[in-house]
Amino acid sequence: MRYKYTITKEGGETEEMEAMSWKKFFKRLMLKYPDFTGWVSYFNKKGHQQVRSFRRKKETTYGESQYEYKKPVHEPKGN
């Protein structure tokens, strides 16, 4: 296999899986753990480490969940 993916579940339990691409790995991950919450790390083809986080099988980008992210509100400065 081309890539090794390290899966870290929410409780801290780790596991390794191999796949030829991210898309194929993601399909296998969702079949094995339908309601996955945790992190996946791997090295891309240029050798850079990538870390992706998931919450209830959706990829998140802002901390806990991108759907719970509230943009900071800046109040206008008064005189």
Q: Could you tell me the pTM of the whole model?
A: 0.69
Query: What average pLDDT does the chain have?
Result: 81
* pLDDT for the residue numbered 12: 83
pLDDT of residue 10: 82
DSSP characters over the chain: --EEEEEEETTS-EEEEEESSHHHHHHHHHHH-TT--EEEEEE-TTS-EEEEEEETTEEE-STT-TTS--PPPPPPPP-
Q: 1 versus 71: which is more confidently predicted?
A: 1
